[in-house]
Amino acid sequence: MSHITFFNYVTGIAFGSIAAVIAIDKRIAVMDGLISLIVWALLTILIETFSLKFPKFRVAMDGEPTIVIKKGKIVEREMASMRLNMDDLSMLLREKNIFSLEEVDYAILEPHGKLSVLKKAEYEQITKSDMHLPVPPRAYLPTEIIVDGKVIDKNLKELNLNAEWLEEQLRKSGSGLSQLSHIFYAELQSDGTLYIDKREN
């Protein structure tokens, strides 16, 4: 839903309105209503197909990204064309944890309403790559193993882990499979360790 475009939004409202009329208005035959829904769905698919093949048509239907801050300067003309005021821009920047325009080099308003921000070099966070530090490969994707005192067997199986491994990890924290009711949440970390959050009571 966060990536919905204006066309998708209008299409969804129209589709829902047609369905509502079918359900409420007894003067409309169910078959006529179904035909309307099918025609609208096919029309939507056709327009989406056109959008994929013809870039200009896609821009007309979905819009295109708009640069609202360029090289640290607010582009007032683009702000006005997008009906975007400073309060809205400040709110969108705060959502990116940016509380001062001084930090921003470029800001681009995407067609779905989100703001993409490129900070000035001096305000960007330092990465391990910048400091030439060794980065160990991730052994696992962080995954929930226990939720509300119950083992997620499906996740254990996908990670090629078993109950014996889980028992060993729980013992390291002073617990065990027999004490699952005392564990609210447990998550496998990327380095293979287990993060455990026990119940308060």
**Is residue 7 predicted with pLDDT exceeding 60?**
yes
Residue from 189, 163, 188, 187 nearest 177 by CA: 163
Mean pLDDT of 89-95: 94
Entry pTM: 0.61
Instruction: Note the pLDDT tens digit of each residue in 32-51.
Output: 888 888 998 898 888 888 87
Domains within the chain, CATH numbers bracketed: 6-62 (no CATH), 66-123 (3.30.240.20), 143-198 (3.30.240.20)
**Is residue 59 predicted with pLDDT exceeding 80?**
no
Q: Which of 9-13, 99-103, 123-127 has the highest mean pLDDT?
A: 99-103
Instruction: Average the pLDDT over each of 57-66, 67-76, 112-121, 190-199 and give the range with the smallest value.
Output: 57-66
